[in-house]
């Protein structure tokens, strides 16, 4: 479900850009915002109680934490907070690059949990484990989108560009 959310959110933001919303004037910025939407969705699962059946829960995520990671429940909460912080960082132009780099590190650190879940055949949200051939490419896609978002620079405002141009003439 994460890849369709990422793709759809990115597309919606880019369409808004084509309709004149300057914030979404580029695919790169639209993708950064799309990744932020996906992260809010995935981060929410870190805090969902087991009684909820319509989406993955905290317990589902604790189950995929490899046994060598201490304090699995606390780590799930921590990664949820980090995903939310990364989402906020991606939508703010000034923090997009550092947030993207931090998310790249987070995605790399989360890879062992995805590998463990697939290899140990840990069910997720009451369904069979997602196969490794699907998990790794998804994780690589998220890393690629974060890398792409990290390479974007906030556009200069017309006023700032005008001031800079005036200073150069003087």
Instruction: Check residue 158 and give its pLDDT.
Output: 45
Span 59-68, pLDDT tens digits: 999 999 999 9
Please count the structural domains in the chain. Answer: 1
How far is Cα of residue 148 from the mean position of the Cα atoms in its chain? Answer: 12
**Predicted TM-score of the model (pTM):** 0.85
Q: Where are the alpha helices (DSSP H) in the chain?
A: 2-18, 27-45, 58-63, 72-91, 96-119, 132-150, 158-169
Mean pLDDT, the chain, whole residue set: 89
More confident residue, 59 or 164: 59
Instruction: Check residue 1 and give its pLDDT.
Output: 82
Instruction: Check residue 54 and give its pLDDT.
Output: 87
Indicate the burial class of 24 (C-beta count within 10 angstroms; 0-12, 13-18, 19 or more). buried
Backbone angles phi, psi at 99, to 5 degrees: -65, -40
User: Once rounded to an integer, what is the mean pLDDT over residues 94-116?
Assistant: 95
Tell me the C-alpha distance between 168 and 2, whole Å: 47
User: Once rounded to an integer, what is the mean pLDDT over residues 46-64?
Assistant: 92
Range of the domain at 112: 2-169
């Amino acid at each position: 479900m994460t890849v369709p959310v990422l793709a759809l959110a990115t597309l919606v933001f880019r369409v808004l850009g084509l309709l004149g919303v300057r914030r979404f004037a580029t695919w790169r910025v639209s993708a950064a915002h799309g990744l932020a939407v996906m992260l809010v969705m995935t981060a929410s699962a870190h805090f969902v109680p087991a009684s909820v059946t319509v989406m993955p829960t905290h317990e589902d995520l604790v189950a995929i934490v490899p046994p060598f990671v201490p304090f699995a429940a606390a780590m799930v909460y921590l990664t949820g907070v980090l995903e939310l912080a990364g989402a906020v960082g991606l939508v703010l132009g000034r923090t997009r690059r550092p947030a993207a780099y931090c998310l790249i590190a987070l995605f790399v650190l989360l890879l062992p949990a995805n590998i463990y879940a697939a290899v140990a055949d840990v069910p997720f949200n009451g369904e069979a484990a997602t196969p490794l051939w699907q998990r790794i490419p998804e994780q690589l896609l998220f890393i690629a989108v974060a890398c792409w978002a990290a390479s974007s620079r906030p556009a200069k405002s017309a006023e700032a560009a005008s001031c800079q141009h005036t200073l150069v003439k003087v």
